[in-house]
């Protein structure tokens, strides 16, 4: 796949630097007109191949447009509202939309293979290329309707169960205590919407999935991944480790409500 550089002069008269997009601690992103500019890494060719494969098969994914004069990747901008996970929960229709889109994505990605390198941390027995960072901060909505899923840098080999475990961590959310009964109800919604995996299986997989990430962050930072170094500067993995330790204490109560 050959992608030509993008001419910044054609970007609706915007300044070259554009608008710095808020949110996220891994790396910077800028909006320039109808595009998003992001720094690249060794994983970028694999991610671009994945997005190009998905584009005719799956709705609500960005289009790869090329690279700008600074060497940043250029993707189409996906408009919509991003839910603030610190102050609000996804509504049940929004949560259902996220999981339904994930099911469609997993169906669409069957048959896609790429040798990488990928940025995501190694997992045992991967069965498909997953997004690996499906969370409210990487999704935009129009009301209850999902209209975009972005930030694909962590795409890589994983499993549907681990993908759903990460969704549960962020979208129930399990990283904070919303009460055992509400958490169990939202886990059951995830399981029933996706199908083939039980709410208990998803809950049980969450600590393993999050620990893979927390163990991998300092290793990737030491290997030169600047985004992982940024996460460490923001208090990871210690901050999320405390949340995970708290979840481990809450899991038996949540499981009881699952029956």
Question: What does the alpha-carbon distance between residue 16 and residue 136 come to, in Å, rounded to a whole number?
Answer: 28
Residues 6+ apart with CB under 8 A from 218: 228, 232, 237
| pLDDT-based confidence at residue 22 (cuts at 50, 70, 90) | low
User: Tens digit of pLDDT for each residue in 203-247?
Assistant: 999 999 999 999 999 999 999 999 999 999 999 999 999 999 999
Question: What does the alpha-carbon distance between residue 228 and residue 109 come to, in Å, rounded to a whole number?
Answer: 26
Looking at the predicted structure, is the pLDDT value of residue 183 above 90? Answer: yes
pTM, to two decimals: 0.92
Which ranges in 178-225 belong to alpha helices (H)? 180-194, 199-222
Looking at the predicted structure, is the pLDDT value of residue 154 above 80? Answer: yes
């Amino acid at each position: 796949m050959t992608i030509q550089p993008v001419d910044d002069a054609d970007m609706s008269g915007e300044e070259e630097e554009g608008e710095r997009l808020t949110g996220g601690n891994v790396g910077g992103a800028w909006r320039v007109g109808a595009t998003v500019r992001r720094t690249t890494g060794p994983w970028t060719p694999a991610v671009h191949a994945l997005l190009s494969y998905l584009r005719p098969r799956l709705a609500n994914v960005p289009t790869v447009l090329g690279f700008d004069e600074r060497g940043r990747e250029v993707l189409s901008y996906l408009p919509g509202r991003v839910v603030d996970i610190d102050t609000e929960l996804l509504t049940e229709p929004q949560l259902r939309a996220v999981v339904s889109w994930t099911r469609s994505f997993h169906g669409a990605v069957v048959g896609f293979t790429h040798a990488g390198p990928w940025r995501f941390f190694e997992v045992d027995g991967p069965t498909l290329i997953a997004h690996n960072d499906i969370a409210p901060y990487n999704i935009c909505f129009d009301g209850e309707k999902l209209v975009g899923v972005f930030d694909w840098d962590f795409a890589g080999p994983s499993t549907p169960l681990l993908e759903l475990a990460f969704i549960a961590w962020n979208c129930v959310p399990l990283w904070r205590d919303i009460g055992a009964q509400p958490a169990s109800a939202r886990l059951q919604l995830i399981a029933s919407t996706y199908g083939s995996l039980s709410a208990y299986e998803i809950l049980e997989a969450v600590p393993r999935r999050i620990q893979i990430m927390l163990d991998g962050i300092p290793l990737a930072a030491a290997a030169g991944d600047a985004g992982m170094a940024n996460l460490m500067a923001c208090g990871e993995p210690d901050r999320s480790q405390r949340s995970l330790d708290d979840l481990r204490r809450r899991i038996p109560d949540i499981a009881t409500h699952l029956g």
